[in-house]
Amino acid sequence: MILQALRKRGVICDKIDVREVIFELTPNPFWDYDVVLVRCLSHSQAVYATRLLAMQGMRTVNTHRVITTCGDKILTTLALLEHGVPTPRTCAALSEEAALEAVEALGYPAVLKPPVGSWGRLMAKVNDRQAAEAVVEHKKMLDGPQDTPYYIQEYVDKPGRDIRTMVIGDEVVYAIYRSSSHWITNTARDGIAGQAPLTSDIERLSRAAARAVGGEIVAVDLLERSDGSLLVNEVNHTPEFHGAMEVVEVDIAGRIADYVVHISGTREEV
């Protein structure tokens, strides 16, 4: 849809599958595009591809720095906190023992997430010590020899939904609810998209979150506390919009295309 929108605007563009490309590690340019819109599903592929393209002086959306930050929940949370954006209480732990202590410190229920991951996969809500021990042990075995940190977050008792917005440039182009009877409300996990009001608080926090990570085209996930206050949960650097396009009256692909055209030709250091 994005490619169709670009071509409809008379833009000459190519679709590149990074899995089929050999990136020669040299400062001599192998391509010369005005801008590259990154839509890799793989976080690691996006991280390396954007760095390799930046070495050639090419402009990418999003940048290597943004993708590195948003693709890691610990780095995202640090960026949000450093810019004063409200986010759930979170701990990072570098060992099994410290992870269990962190869960106890946050209190039950608590949520354990992989630092790198999407679509709500491998997330666990633990309600007591025994559940925490089981999840931490399973994570340790799944990670094998890798020293992957533990990301532990307070459980926010949201009203059966979260809020997702998309920010393009400095504009919040839509807000939707993602509702589910399950505590995980991602549309990838059968959450149902519905219209949400684009309130001043939602707009303000969405812009603040995007600026905190340096994002140009990002999705922001917000949680509602029982008192109505909002927290920024995550920022997604390669937002999908299949659910949103069914409920909002916004040409999302067209808005993305317009932004890419607008910034084409600008170069930016990584």
Same domain, yes or no, for 168 and 60? Answer: yes
**Band of the pLDDT at 191, cuts 50, 70, 90?**
confident
Domain termination residue (choose one: 131, 154, 177): 154
Q: Locate tokens 């607008």: which residue?
A: 262
Can you give the pLDDT at residue 269? 40
Same domain, yes or no, for 253 and 171? Answer: yes
For residues 199 and 233, give the distance between their C-alpha atoms in angstroms, rounded to a whole number.
18
Same domain, yes or no, for 241 and 145? Answer: no
Same domain, yes or no, for 54 and 143? Answer: no
**Band of the pLDDT at 184, cuts 50, 70, 90?**
confident
The stretch 131-138 carries a mean pLDDT of 92
Whether residue 109 has a cis bond before it, omega within 30° of 0: yes
Q: Which residues of 183-195 are buried (b: 16+ CB within 10 A; e: fewer)?
A: ebbbbeeebbbee
**Other Cβ atoms within 10 Å of 208 Cβ, number:** 17
**Domains held by the chain: number:** 2
Domain termination residue (choose one: 154, 172, 200): 154
Determine what percent of the chain is predicted with pLDDT higher than 70. 95
Greater confidence (137 vs 92) lies with: 92
Same domain, yes or no, for 261 and 223? Answer: yes
Say yes or no to pLDDT of 172 above 60.
yes
The mean-pLDDT minimum among 52-61, 167-176, 214-223 falls in 52-61
CATH of the domain at 169: 3.30.470.20
CATH of the domain at 123: 3.30.1490.20
The stretch 6-35 carries a mean pLDDT of 89
Determine what percent of the chain is predicted with pLDDT higher than 90. 77
Same domain, yes or no, for 145 and 221? Answer: no
Burial class (CB in 10 A: 0-12, 13-18, 19+), 177: buried
Same domain, yes or no, for 32 and 121? Answer: no
**Band of the pLDDT at 144, cuts 50, 70, 90?**
low
The stretch 149-155 carries a mean pLDDT of 95
Same domain, yes or no, for 50 and 81? Answer: yes
Say yes or no to pLDDT of 210 above 90.
yes
Can you give the pLDDT at residue 119? 65
The stretch 260-270 carries a mean pLDDT of 68
Task: Identify whether the C-beta of residue 107 lies closer than 8 Å to the C-beta of residue 147.
Answer: no
Can you give the pLDDT at residue 183? 86
Q: Tens digits of per-residue pLDDT, 88-130?
A: 999 999 999 999 999 999 999 999 998 987 766 779 999 999 9
Same domain, yes or no, for 122 and 250? Answer: no
- Domain of 198 in residue numbering reads as 1-87+156-270
Q: Which of 42, 144, 132, 128 is nearest to 93 (CA)?
A: 132
The stretch 171-194 carries a mean pLDDT of 89
Q: Write out the chain in H/E/C secondary structure.
A: CHHHHHHHCCCCCCCCCHHHCCCCCCCCCCCCCCCEECCCCCHHHHHHHHHHHHHCCCCEECCHHHHHHHCCHHHHHHHHHHCCCCCCCEEEECCHHHHHHHHHHHCCCEEEECCCCCCCCCCEEECCHHHHHHHHHHHHHHHCCCCCCEEEEECCCCCCEEEEEEEECCEEEEEEEEECCCCCCCHHHCCEEEECCCCHHHHHHHHHHHHHHCCCEEEEEEEECCCCCEEEEEEECCCCCCCHHHCCCCCHHHHHHHHHHHHCCCCCCC
Can you give the pLDDT at residue 267? 46
What is the token pair recorded at 223? 């949680």
For residues 142 and 147, give the distance between their C-alpha atoms in angstroms, rounded to a whole number.
11
**Band of the pLDDT at 214, cuts 50, 70, 90?**
very high
Can you give the pLDDT at residue 151? 95
Same domain, yes or no, for 113 and 179? Answer: no
Say yes or no to pLDDT of 147 above 90.
no
Mean pLDDT, the chain, rounded, equals 91
Greater confidence (38 vs 143) lies with: 38
Domain termination residue (choose one: 154, 185, 203): 154
Can you give the pLDDT at residue 270? 36
Can you give the pLDDT at residue 240? 92
Same domain, yes or no, for 119 and 145? Answer: yes
Say yes or no to pLDDT of 190 above 80.
no
The model's pTM is 0.92
Same domain, yes or no, for 188 and 244? Answer: yes
